[in-house]
Amino acid sequence: MHHFHYRNDSLFCEDIPLEQIAKEQGTPSYIYSHATFTRHFQAVDQAFASVPHIIAFAMKANSNIAILRLMASLGSGADIVSGGELFRALKAGIPPNKIVFAGVGKDHNEIKYAIESGILFFNVESGAELQAINHVAGELGTQARVALRVNPNIDPQTHPYISTGMKKSKFGIGADQVLGEFDQAAALPNIQVVGVHAHIGSQLTKVSPFVDSLTKVLGLIQTLKSKGIPIQYLNIGGGLGITYSDETPPQPQELADAITPILKETECEIVMEPGRVIAGNAGILLTRVIYIKDNGTKKFAIVDAAMNDLIRPSLYQAHHDILPVNQVPNAPEDVFDVVGPICESGDFLAQNRTMPVVKEGDLLAVMSAGAYAFTMASNYNSRPKVPEILVKGGESFVIRRRESYDDLIRGEHIPEFLRT
Ligand SMILES: *Cc1c(COP(=O)(O)O)cnc(C)c1O
């Protein structure tokens, strides 16, 4: 459920017409709904009320510091994957003891920064990383808390680029090696083993891969206990899917009902890392049609947003619904490619999309653009990044201003020898 809906054929975010935001802030713009973020966080939190848990919002989905501050105010922690994300999380006021750090390539500086910040634990992805963390913790004269990320070799039945828990994946430690790595970890002087982590992929639309994965993880936790390595935290990762078009992913409560018995049996405190399920349908990308082009075979709606603003259609063949901001009852339909101004054939937001006929100047809402959307934006083709706007009831707040042309060259420098 989200708070983007029509009133008298005009698309609103909460109590504000999107047309009004377009007038005030221009297009393209990202628009987020405060009520939707809040509702989604609380749905996850309440679903797991019967087990002790920490929700660590996967901030690679949406890392605007105002959104993170909202998450913090609801009680969220953060799942981070870089030093930059740690910086943002701390700036936003997320408590360090609710921050967990994943990713296969943490470098020395990132490890140091995280230990000094007092994060809850590292999600360790390899033996080499374990050695590096042990080394840095030793230099700092302390112990680092770690969870080992196990790769349970489960096919989550999602897009290959967002599938992370299969044997061929770069993520986690294979089931055949993980016990050995736990032994190694337990023997390292500057490492404190506190957890097991399993995150098998994103946009999962079934409960069964979670159940299969956690069943394996439960067995691992029991084996570790019998070997004298008690596990305090079970980090179940994220991955719950959302409805982009006609998917019917389980609701958080359905997932909780299916896995809570397993979670209870582990006797662990649960950490979870939802990203998409909280942020995905809490945002849209507002764009305007610049031209209509009909080349005889195809019709193109050329809009002012592009793949640099929202790369998911180009990168994952992802579907985003595209709705007219002003709906015309019984409007005729036609088939369009919705494309951006970028000089790449891969620059599209939708292909062969049957939609109400659009014309120059029309406003369109690209739906489900709250997760993996602005965070993946780039300046390709020297396009300034678009603003992010948070709507709360009848008020709107610019939480990131539109970039200027000066922003584009900030940090660039012409060396002396080229100046004459
Ligand atoms: C990306 C990621 C998540 C979040 O996944 P969602 O599908 O957005 O819930 C959680 N944990 C880890 C380790 C990730 O890499």
Find out whether 377 and 309 touch, Cβ atoms under 8 Å.
yes
Ligand 1 atom nearest to 273, measured from its CA:
10
Show the tokens assigned to 1: 């459920």
261 and 169 housed in the same domain:
yes
Query: Whose C-alpha lies nearest to ligand 1, atom 1?
Result: 58
In a domain? residue 420: no
* Secondary structure letter of residue 97 according to DSSP: G
Q: What is the pLDDT of residues 65-83, one digit of tens each?
A: 999 999 999 999 999 999 9
Domain boundary among 244, 279, 314: 279
Rounded distance from Cα 61 to ligand 1 centre (Å): 8
Rounded distance from Cα 204 to ligand 1 centre (Å): 11
- Residue 120 CA, distance from chain mean position: 20
Give the Cβ contact number of residue 59 at 10 Å: 30
pTM of the shown model = 0.97
**Nearest-CA neighbor of 19 among 221, 318, 288?**
288
28 and 41 housed in the same domain:
no
303 and 328 housed in the same domain:
yes
Q: What is the CATH number of the domain that holds 108?
A: 3.20.20.10
Domain boundary among 209, 244, 279: 279
In a domain? residue 419: no
Find out whether 132 and 85 touch, Cβ atoms under 8 Å.
no
Measured on CA atoms in the order 236, 273, 267, 258, is the torsion positive or negative? Answer: negative
Can you state the angle between helices 127-139 and 175-187, rounded to 10 degrees? 20
8 and 110 housed in the same domain:
no
In a domain? residue 416: no
Show the tokens assigned to 69: 């501050």
**Ligand 1 test: best mutation among 80, 197, 273, 372, most atoms within 8 Å of CB?**
273
226 and 322 housed in the same domain:
no
Ligand 1 atom nearest to 280, measured from its CA:
8
161 pLDDT above the threshold of 90: no
How many distinct structural domains can be found in the chain? 2
Domain that holds residue 70: 34-279
Domain boundary among 279, 302, 324: 279
Report the pLDDT averaged over residues 120-149. 98
In a domain? residue 415: no
Rounded distance from Cα 199 to ligand 1 centre (Å): 7
In this structure, are strands 388-392 and 395-400 parallel, antiparallel, or unpaired? Answer: antiparallel
In a domain? residue 418: no
39 and 114 housed in the same domain:
yes
In a domain? residue 405: yes
Query: Whose C-alpha lies nearest to ligand 1, atom 10?
Result: 238
256 and 289 housed in the same domain:
no
123 and 183 housed in the same domain:
yes
260 and 306 housed in the same domain:
no
The percentage of residues in the chain with a pLDDT greater than 90, rounded to a whole number, is 95
Q: What is the pLDDT of residues 18-39, one digit of tens each?
A: 999 999 999 999 999 999 999 9
229 and 167 housed in the same domain:
yes
Pocket (CB within 6 angstroms of ligand 1): 58, 60-61, 79, 102, 199, 202, 237-240, 273-277
Rounded distance from Cα 46 to ligand 1 centre (Å): 20
93 and 14 housed in the same domain:
no
Q: What is the CATH number of the domain that holds 313?
A: 2.40.37.10
Q: What is the pLDDT of residues 48-71, one digit of tens each?
A: 999 999 999 999 999 999 999 999
> Is the backbone peptide bond immediately before 28 cis, with ω within 30 degrees of 0?
yes
**Which residues, in sequence order, are bridge partners of residue 372?**
none
In a domain? residue 414: no
Ligand 1 atom nearest to 204, measured from its CA:
7
